[in-house]
Amino acid sequence: ILDDDDELVQQYYQNRALDSFSLTCLGIVYTVLIFIGAIGNGLVCLAVARQPKMRTSRNLFIINLAISDLLLCFFTIPFSLVEISTKSWPYGECIAMCKLVLALEATSIFVSTLSITAIALDRYQVILHSMNPVDQSHRSSFPHIAKLLVIWMIGTLLALPLFLFRTVEVHNIGIKEIDPIKYCIEKWPITHGRFYYSVFSMLIQYFVPITIVSVVYTRLCIKLRSRTMRRTSTTQLPNLRNRLQRRARRTNMLLISIALIFCISWLPLNALNVICDLKFPFENDSTFRITFAVCHMAGMSSSCSNPFLYGWLNQNFRN
């Protein structure tokens, strides 16, 4: 709290928590993330909308992932930038707005990671159980639609605490030019409630999916390698053998890249949330906001990498 009322009034009138340079840099990076993510995921949805042959039950999971990433691009990223760069809540006393911003972000993130897990399990079922991809793609889409509904229900339930325990708090500090000052905060009914929720979220949104994806794709790589070795050992055509080996290597690299990118993207934000909720390590608020923004951008970058991994590197989507 500053002694000079005029300087305090000026700071809160601007309502900026970061200096101009930091704010400009964050604005540019967030804009790039929105632009790339919106185009990439939009093209994935467009490919399915324009081509009837792409409207298969298996592609529903990829479309679901693209929709959740579009929500991140259009709603989560812009509102997150506003919250990071402002000192107080800039949207008035509307409690619904305060609750929905973070709850919608959490729902989109949960749905995105659950969709990635569902895609991995679906591939596991198709390849390891030797199901015919043609027959599988033309089966009734109802079971998969039911799975999508379950994914959204689980994502909404996991984000529900953020909706319930977020509220707008109003403060009067005795300076009529800026009173009242409003903050959108979390009020948990139990001590360290936010820390418990952060740990729970990290388990559900990060450790469980990355474990499932890593185990599934490791088994797929082993299966594809043994199948390739078996097929190449029986063929006498060098060109065919080399082509099969290259395709197996590309598939293995893709599966490994999916797991690694997921791990790298979401680890910083999850770790920072748990650390800060347990014991806040930052003495300077600006340092914390910039650190949080960098970790947040790493997580949001998944909305740019997902359409590349699941769309562009898929031959049917690319065609």
DSSP string, 5-33: HHHHHHHHHHT-SS-HHHHHHHHHHHHHH
- Do the beta carbons of residue 169 and residue 112 sit within 8 Å? no
Residue 235: the pLDDT is: 58
Helix or strand (DSSP H, E) at 183: strand 181-186
Q: At what angle do helices 285-300 and 238-278 cross, to 10 degrees?
A: 150
Identify the bridge partners of residue 183 per DSSP, sorted by sequence position.
169
pLDDT above 90 coverage of the chain, percent: 39
Q: What 3-state DSSP class applies to 74?
A: helix
Measured in degrees and rounded to the nearest 5, phi and psi for residue 174 equal: 90, 10
Number of other residues whose CB lies within 10 A of the CB of residue 31: 13
**pTM greater than the 0.75 cutoff:** yes
Interval 165-213: pLDDT, tens: 999 988 877 666 666 788 888 999 998 899 999 999 999 999 999 999 9
Higher pLDDT, 154 or 132: 154
Q: Could you tell me which CATH number the domain at 5-318 has?
A: 1.20.1070.10
Residues whose CB falls within 8 Å of the CB of residue 10, separated by 6 or more in sequence, listed in order: none
Phi, psi of 314 (to 5 degrees): -95, 120
Residues 6 or more apart whose CB falls under 8 angstroms from that of 154 comprise 110, 114
Mean pLDDT of 132-137: 48
Q: What is the mean pLDDT of residues 257-283?
A: 89
DSSP readout, the chain?
--S-HHHHHHHHHHT-SS-HHHHHHHHHHHHHHHHHHHHHHHHHHHHHHH-GGG--TTHHHHHHHHHHHHHIIIIIHHHHHHHHH-SS-TTTT-HHHHHHHHHHHHHHHHHHHHHHHHHHHHHHHHHHTT--HHHHHTS-SHHHHHHHHHHHHHHHHHHHHHHHSEEEEEE--S-TTTPSEEEEEE--SSTTHHHHHHHHHHIIIIIHHHHHHHHHHHHHHHHHHHHHHHHHHH---HHHHHHHHHHHHHHHHHHHHHHHHHHHHHHHHHHHHHHHHHS---S-HHHHHHHHHHHHHHHHTHHHHHHIIIIITSHHHH-
Nearest to 30 by CA among 87, 63, 72: 72
Q: How far is CA 261 from CA 253, 265, 266, in A?
A: 12, 6, 9
Comparing 292 with 249, which gets the higher pLDDT?
A: 292
* Averaged pLDDT of the chain: 83
Could you tell me which of 212, 230, 228, 220 has the C-alpha nearest to residue 252? 220
pLDDT over threshold 60, residue 273: yes
pLDDT in tens, 207-261: 999 999 989 888 888 877 777 666 666 655 667 667 766 776 777 777 788 888 9
Buried b (16+ CB within 10 A) or exposed e, 116-130: bbbbbebbbebbeee
